[in-house]
Structure 1
Amino acid sequence: MRQNSGGPPEHSPAGTDGRIPATLRHPGAATFWTAVILTGIGAGLSAAALITLLSAVQHLAWPPNLDLLDAATRTDPWRRVMILLGAGLLTGVGQMVLVKLTGGNGIEITTALWFSAGRLPVLRTMGSAVLSEAIVGLGASLGREGAPKQAGAAIANVLADRGGFSDEQRRLLVACGAGAGMAAAYDVPLGGALFAIEVLRGVLALRLVLPALAASVVAAMVSWVALPDAPTYIIPAYRSGSSIICWALIAGPIAGVVSVGFVRMIALADRARPKGWLRLVVPSFVLALLGAASIWFPQLLGNGKDLAQLTFNGEVAPPLLLALLLLKPIATAMCLGSGAPGGLFTPSLTLGALLGAVLGHLSTWLFPGVPSGLCALIGAGAVIAATTQGPISAVVLMIELTGHDRTFIAPLLVAAITATIVSRTIDSRSIYDARLTDEELAEREKLREPASI
């Protein structure tokens, strides 16, 4: 019998001491590392299948062979409303079916890691992942990475059961599975590994990083069977300089404050999720309302990837940037609050890109010659760092997502550091633990450092 509190198990598996293997000579190392590799393979295959499902749904509902923003723009406005209404109905029916089949609610990965030693309801988690990709493909304003993370974590949970792992080993393996899912979805093996350890596990240590790296690189390579091995965002070759670094010193703290507001908005939305029969009604109303808003602002649909790309290229007019800076996070919070499952990484990145672009335009008199697209890029990294409370993984993710490094690394680091310090000073919660109470946060801090380090 194991403890759920994250301490050492009462009875370690046969032939092990329950610790995370530091070397291949450690008892149980072969079993643990086999599970790590299998987690990476499972996460890569599931990510490829889920993203393929998203693309198929999107091409069936919207004009094919186009990005979602282009497809929505070319679609009759009232058809947008009907498609989003369909997404709401699918959400409601899907949630009711999952509750009936699994006999209860799901559990978020962060909550499972800290308070259930990574144990997840597998059927509910996988069902929610499939539902998430379908409704994001239909236009829900949520991230596509949530589903691959769930699938990777669920696969790791099953392997931990089969391997008879201790709570500490299970917790690490599930975090590696979630990071591997992100790595496969966006082709970011290093960023996915750091996300698993820095953001989900909360500890950067060699014996934790190595399994995460192995799982993420395997997942990314396996996903190439169906997903492209290419940067997610194509950006111009911006040049860094003293002006953009000075701008980053000002924009970073602002991004930190905005990130706290977004995290608190997400927390409120999560607490407002409908229960009982309202699960069937509320998503239809909210997503139909999103469809109506898209008549004037089609950029509100989807996870925000297309919108972020436009801001990185400096192709969005300032008045529209300002409007979307207010409306896009509201759309994401409304979708989440309606009970729709989905990720928050790309919506956070898009919020940062919009904020950076707006601040870039507002500061042209102070920093002439600084491109708004470069400001959007720095703002995106700063908000990711602050909303995830993971500045190292945020910087690496921005490098991998764009395929660039030295052109913006210095100002990105400045903005990410200052944004994270400011946000942590105000509120240490991230978008992934926004639902935790103060008591749970205190308990998490006690569990953060594993005894094996």
Structure 2
Amino acid sequence: MSFTWHRTAGFWLALLLTGVGTGFATAALTEILKLTQHALWGGPGLDLLQGAARAPHWMHMAALTGAGVVTGLGQLLLTRLSSGNSIDISAAIWFHAGRLPKLRTLASATLSVIIVGMGTALGREGAPKQAGAVLGNQAADWLRLTDQERRLLVACGAGAGMAAAYSVPLGGALFALEVLRGVLALRYVLPAVVTSLAATVISRALMGTPPTYVIPAYPDSTSILAWALLAGPLVGLASVLFVRLVARADRHKPRGWLRVVVPVGTLAILGAVSIPFPQLLGNGRDVAELALTGDLAAPLLLALLGLRPAATLLCLGSGAPGGLFTPTLATGALLGGVLGLPWMLVWPGVPPGMFALLGATALVAATTQGPISATVLMMEMTGYARAAVLPMLVMVAAATLMARSVEFRSIYDARLTDAEVAARQRARAHPEEGVAGAS
């Protein structure tokens, strides 16, 4: 079946509606996150670490136990309010022609930003992505678009959510195509850019344009290039482990009445551990920025490298909804910082934050299997134009090649079976047709 969106005015209208709606939805979800976080932890804006570091011990326990209660009750309500099953965005695009249970997905997005504001160690970008996907699906219904158009529109909507959340229009568009749609074709680029641009313009007008990470302009050097060549494969292997642990945590989520009980006990454990390590709370933006600026001492860097991903996996395995992008980025920054410690003894002169920057980019690229989108996202979020691009690309290529050689699944494929992932891989050769047998 030919793909004829270039002759359909309704498709372009759907793109604009999805982008604008996603911008407003992202601003609303971010405001809910801020209000929740400020009510419990205080602190300016989205900076949870400052408030958590000052909070009394009982607040850590109360906030995270409360997050467990909210998670359990929220999951129970989701099943009662919606008869449709929860569908992952990637699964919806590839196996359901982009169709999602709208009410359940939006409710899950709202639940996720509330519990992230309360301190769960998951990402806030998952909610805007879900909102954008639902709006794309709804626009396709309104304008009676084809299944091929709907698939692309839902992917563009989810990418627009990423773009609006972090003010990264180009990175969000590439994420939609490379990671979610699974193809970087010229005929898809303009629709993705239009949707992400519209969402970003609205979100910037409502939330401002502060950079996600404020880091120094690190210089390029032969030393960091040599380190990137050696460390890239190690990060790729680490990404394989992380993806498999994410898949395992997702498969072992509690079922039945355990969905109400397990999150309470699990998140209470996180609350107790966060008393000496407040860096474990929230989506990881704060700890990532500390690593990217070289402001984490070596002992803390080593401790957080084990504890931070464990906290994310703990929350994911408890059934708590949330994103994985920023937690993965934070883990990559910590891993890069740790791998840089011995290198500074052998070949001194590289700023510690440079190792974290490359590690973060490489781990995101390898775990999402989106090297181009990951590189552009990091450049946009940190304000980089040319600095560090060469070692960044070297490390991203090495890490992604190693990861793909061992594991063809990404963190966004965690909910898919091996047969579904294989079917998706085959379908990438014919992206306009989707997966055979998909509704």
Q: What range is the shorter-chain TM-score in?
A: over 0.9
Could you say what secondary structure the match of 1:273 adopts?
Answer: coil
**TM-superposed deviation, 1:366:** 2.2
Partner of 1:52: 31
**TM-superposed deviation, 1:451:** 6.1
CA 115–52 in structure 1, closer or farther in 2 if over 3 Å, else same:
same
CA contact (8 A) 1:378 1:415 kept: yes
- What CA distance in whole angstroms lies between the structure 2 residues aligned with 1:226 and 1:241? 40
- What CA distance in whole angstroms lies between the structure 2 residues aligned with 1:73 and 1:105? 39
Instruction: List per-residue Cα deviations over 1:366-395 (Å, max 9, x = no partner).
Output: 221111101000100000000000000000
1:40 lines up with 2:19 in the alignment: yes
- What CA distance in whole angstroms lies between the structure 2 residues aligned with 1:117 and 1:336? 26
Superposition pairs of residues 77-96 of structure 1, within 5 angstroms: 77-96=57-76
Partner of 1:145: 125
Partner of 2:423: 443
- What CA distance in whole angstroms lies between the structure 2 residues aligned with 1:259 and 1:37? 35
Q: Which runs of 5+ in 1 are unaligned?
A: 1-7, 9-16
Instruction: List per-residue Cα deviations over 1:28-56 (Å, max 9, x = no partner).
Output: x2000000011100110100100111001
- What CA distance in whole angstroms lies between the structure 2 residues aligned with 1:452 and 1:64? 47
- What CA distance in whole angstroms lies between the structure 2 residues aligned with 1:203 and 1:101? 35
- What CA distance in whole angstroms lies between the structure 1 residues aligned with 2:68 and 2:155? 30
- What CA distance in whole angstroms lies between the structure 1 residues aligned with 2:252 and 2:315? 11
**TM-superposed deviation, 1:78:** 2.0
1:229 paired residue among 209, 212, 232? 209
Instruction: List per-residue Cα deviations over 1:316-359 (Å, max 9, x = no partner).
Output: 01111111111111110110111100000000100100001011
Partner of 1:207: 187
Q: What is the number of equivalent residue pairs in this alignment?
A: 432
Instruction: List per-residue Cα deviations over 1:121-175 (Å, max 9, x = no partner).
Output: 0000000000000000000000000000000000100111112211111100000
Q: Which runs of 5+ in 2 are unaligned?
A: 434-439
CA contact (8 A) 1:20 1:168 kept: no
Instruction: List per-residue Cα deviations over 1:44-80 (Å, max 9, x = no partner).
Output: 0100100111001000111242620110000001211
Partner of 2:399: 419
2:224 paired residue among 244, 249, 254? 244
1:220 lines up with 2:200 in the alignment: yes
**TM-superposed deviation, 1:251:** 1.1
Partner of 2:351: 371
Give the partner amino acid of 1:271: R
CA contact (8 A) 1:44 1:221 kept: yes
1:322 lines up with 2:302 in the alignment: yes
**TM-superposed deviation, 1:219:** 0.2
1:183 lines up with 2:163 in the alignment: yes
Give the partner amino acid of 2:89: I
Q: TM-score, normalised by structure 1?
A: 0.94
2:317 paired residue among 337, 341, 366? 337
**TM-superposed deviation, 1:117:** 1.0
CA RMSD of aligned residues (A): 1.2
Give the partner amino acid of 1:272: H
Partner of 1:65: 44
1:390 paired residue among 370, 382, 386? 370
1:121 paired residue among 101, 110, 114? 101
2:237 paired residue among 257, 272, 288? 257
Specify which structure has the higher proportion of helix. 2
Provide the identity percentage. Answer: 57
Could you say what secondary structure the match of 1:370 adopts?
Answer: coil
CA contact (8 A) 1:20 1:452 kept: no
Partner of 2:176: 196
**TM-superposed deviation, 1:247:** 0.6
1:353 paired residue among 333, 345, 349? 333
CA contact (8 A) 1:148 1:185 kept: yes
1:136 lines up with 2:116 in the alignment: yes
CA contact (8 A) 1:48 1:225 kept: no
CA 422–77 in structure 1, closer or farther in 2 if over 3 Å, else same:
same
* More moved, 157-166 vs 146-155: 157-166
**TM-superposed deviation, 1:225:** 3.0
Could you say what secondary structure the match of 1:118 adopts?
Answer: coil
1:307 paired residue among 279, 287, 292? 287
CA contact (8 A) 1:360 1:371 kept: no
- What CA distance in whole angstroms lies between the structure 2 residues aligned with 1:319 and 1:384? 24
CA contact (8 A) 2:84 2:101 kept: no
- What CA distance in whole angstroms lies between the structure 2 residues aligned with 1:121 and 1:306? 33
**TM-superposed deviation, 1:241:** 1.2
